[in-house]
Amino acid sequence: MLAAYAVEVTQSRGRRFPEAQHPYRNDFQRDRDRVIHARAFRRLEAKTQVFTRRYSDHFRNRLTHTLEVSQISRTIAGALRLNVDLAEALALVHDIGHPPFGHAGEKALDAAMRQHGLFFDHNLHALRIVEDFEQRYAAFRGLNLTFEVREGIIKHSRDYDESEHPELAEYLLDQRSPLEAQLIDLSDEIAYHTADLDDGYEAHLLSLDEIRDGVPLFDRFYREVMQIYPSAPEKLKFNETVKRILNRFVDDLIRNTQKRIDAAGLHSTEDVRRQNERLAAFSLAVDAERKAGKEFLYENLYFSPALADEKDDAERVISELFSFWMNHPESLPHNYQEKAKEEGPPRVICDYIAGMTDNFIYEQYEKYCGA
């Protein structure tokens, strides 16, 4: 039984191109499946999350990160009696617009675009993927997703101003998104926060002592685990600690969001939309723990000297390839040359690069910019 403030699939604002109902999957389940069958989704497997393949084959890539976000979102949505199918579809699509090389790639692509008075934004790019670039179906371009999934792609992590983005006006920018979309950003953060501690430790970029010194919540749970499993190997105590952090964040998000929902007296999705602020939120105490952990990761992992060379590589590869194609548009694939006539070379080169996997962009770099 869904809560009154959940999104009912039967009340969906529907698809751009109306389609007949499927006999045994509802519209949000179909959207989830369409995302999984998209080429851009499969390419997430070869896109960096934080660590490149150089480190290990079992660290997270953007696809396995996405699966973790999906699993966490489903748990939270279920506990809050929200629409689990919608939350799952939104989680699976949330990173589909990311370029190769993780955040370094995103930054480099944005910098290249800004030289032409444009910019790169992975949410807007994700919308273009599902609306335009994916071509699987004979009846329409793109995936023809429901309004609620497209709205969630745009609104899950930030708010866009209608005056700056008139093209997004249909997504009700002056209203909050449904709770199913609001929880994606926080599930994302729970997933990468815990996963990056894990991978950073396995990569020997973060030591146990460093983490215990720098993250009080981790230290507290580690002490607890040492009491329960004094003779367990260090790595298993580490895992038990990370598991407790994940559970604490998820549990707090569920409880605190429920409290805020109750306090706001919500009776419908429209009530959620009319709120002045997002209702999905951690409690103040856990939010402070989350911030402390995140600051630790920024200082000691994301900006660590050990990862600096790869980031520099990523920026160099993207900016040099971008300039190469600006100067040699005739070397772009034929369909991109055609599109460039309408949309201009920078946007088309950006779209092309953003879709690439880490492997493919390196091949292109060797081919066109290699010594």
Closest distance to Mg ion from the beta carbon of 319 (Å): 24
Which region, judged by CB under 5 A, interacts with Mg ion, from 185-193, 230-238, 290-298, 323-331? 185-193
Of 27 and 95, which has the nearer Cβ to Mg ion?
95
Quick check: 199 binds Mg ion (CB under 5 A)?
no
Judged by CB under 5 A, which of 27, 68, 88, 95 binds Mg ion?
95
48: phi then psi, degrees, rounded to nearest 5: -65, 135
Quick check: 188 binds Mg ion (CB under 5 A)?
yes
Of 191 and 340, which has the nearer Cβ to Mg ion?
191
DSSP 8-state symbol, 131? I
Which region, judged by CB under 5 A, interacts with Mg ion, from 158-166, 186-194, 264-272, 326-334? 186-194
What's the CA gap between 261 and 280, in Å, rounded? 8
Closest distance to Mg ion from the beta carbon of 65 (Å): 6
201-240 footprint of Mg ion as x/- string (CB under 5 A): ----------------------------------------
Sign of CA dihedral 175, 179, 181, 186: positive
Of 180 and 188, which has the nearer Cβ to Mg ion?
188
Which region, judged by CB under 5 A, interacts with Mg ion, from 32-40, 124-132, 182-190, 308-316? 182-190
Secondary structure (3-state) at 190: helix
- Total residues in contact with Mg ion, by rule CB under 5 A: 2
What's the CA gap between 160 and 116, in Å, rounded? 22
Calculate the alpha carbon distances from 171 to 28, 96, 183, 208 in Å: 17, 19, 18, 45
Of 31 and 95, which has the nearer Cβ to Mg ion?
95
DSSP 8-state symbol, 204? T
Nearest to 197 by CA among 250, 148, 239, 158: 239
Closest distance to Mg ion from the beta carbon of 303 (Å): 19
Classify 205 in phi/psi space as left (phi over 0), alpha (psi -120 to 50) or beta.
Answer: alpha
What's the CA gap between 152 and 148, in Å, rounded? 6
Of 12 and 123, which has the nearer Cβ to Mg ion?
123
Query: Rule CB under 5 A: which residues touch Mg ion?
Result: 95, 188
